[in-house]
Amino acid sequence: MEKLFTPDFGLMVWTVVTFLLLVAILAKFAWPPILQAIKDREEALRQERVLAEKARAEAQRIQKDLEAKLAELDVKSREVLSQAQRDADALRARHSEEAKAEAVKLMEKTRAGLEEEKRRLVGELRKEVADLSVLAAERLVRKSVDAGVKKAVLDQFFHDIEKPGKR
């Protein structure tokens, strides 16, 4: 057992040769694919980093565009609201003017109707007064006056009635 712990020159040579042979085989067959895999991975990571940077820049551009569009929409909505307010004010003013004009027309129509009714009632009243006056005059004349005087009194009475506003 002691032989295992003592260095033997032949065993050392064979161990070094085997090690160098293994390194040569690995260097020939295993090392290039490992290095290629590392290079491929580095390239993939670099491309992903570039794509991520492009995506971030695109996202920032889109965000700026959206903010600009939102600001534009805000301005447009304020303009639309302002125009709607102006239209509502104009409509309100127009309706107010129309209502005032309608009220004036209604007042004029009512005034005209009242004037017409007043004229009609005055005419009826004159007719009634005339009828009553004729009746009273007739009774009075029958009692005290002859036919010539009757005619003169009646003519004068009718002449007075025909002139409105004399009384």
Tens digit of pLDDT per residue, the chain (167 long)?
566 667 778 888 988 999 999 999 999 999 899 999 999 999 999 999 999 999 999 999 999 999 999 999 999 999 999 999 999 999 999 999 999 999 999 999 999 999 999 999 988 888 888 887 878 777 776 766 566 776 777 788 888 877 765 54
Give me the phi and psi of 15, to 5 degrees please. Answer: -65, -45
Domain definitions of the chain by residue range? 17-162
Q: Which residues, other chains included, contact 145 with Cβ-Cβ below 8 Å and sequence gap of 6+?
A: 153
Q: Which residues, other chains included, contact 72 with Cβ-Cβ below 8 Å and sequence gap of 6+?
A: none
pTM of the model: 0.40
pLDDT of residue 167: 47
Both tokens of 125, joined, read: 């009243």
pLDDT of residue 146: 66
pLDDT of residue 145: 57
